Amino acid sequence: MDSPVPLNALFAVLPESILGIVASLLFVLAPFTPKSRRDLMGYFALIGLTLSGASLFLLCGKEITAFNGMIVVDPFALLFKSILLLTAGLTILMSIRYINIVKIHLAE
């Protein structure tokens, strides 16, 4: 039986899918994490960003157009996705220390 969504279309949104799954897991796990260990949430988010960045390497060298042209994977898109992931990672790294100083431990 044929899938309604082609496999290359799902492959094109793999980095975003990984980020969505990790973010959902963070929101589900946050209420069950003790306040003394909430800094682990930041490290878990960094792991998710790393996995998403690794999936970008799988897309390198490929030209994929998916969902009737709404998603385009090309070198330009990969460059900006990697810049976004690096920026998010640096922001999380700075936030972990700040949150420990201020003692505000929110999963967001």
Question: Per-residue pLDDT tens for 75-94?
Answer: 999 999 999 999 999 999 99
| Cα Dmax for the chain | 55
**1 within domain boundaries:** no
With respect to residue 108, please indicate whether it lies within any of the assigned structural domains.
no
Residue at 2 is within a domain: no
Instruction: Quote the pTM value.
Output: 0.85
Total domains, the chain: 1
Domain annotation covers residue 58: yes
In this prediction, residue 55 carries a pLDDT of 94
**Can you give the pLDDT at residue 36?**
77
Give pairs for 66-69: CB < 8 Å, separation 24+. 66/6, 66/8, 66/9, 66/12, 66/13, 67/9
| Structural domain containing residue 33 | 7-102
What mean pLDDT is predicted for residues 16-43?
88
Q: Is there a domain that residue 36 lies in?
A: yes
Contacts of 25-29 spanning 24+ positions with Cβ under 8 A? 26/107, 27/107, 29/107
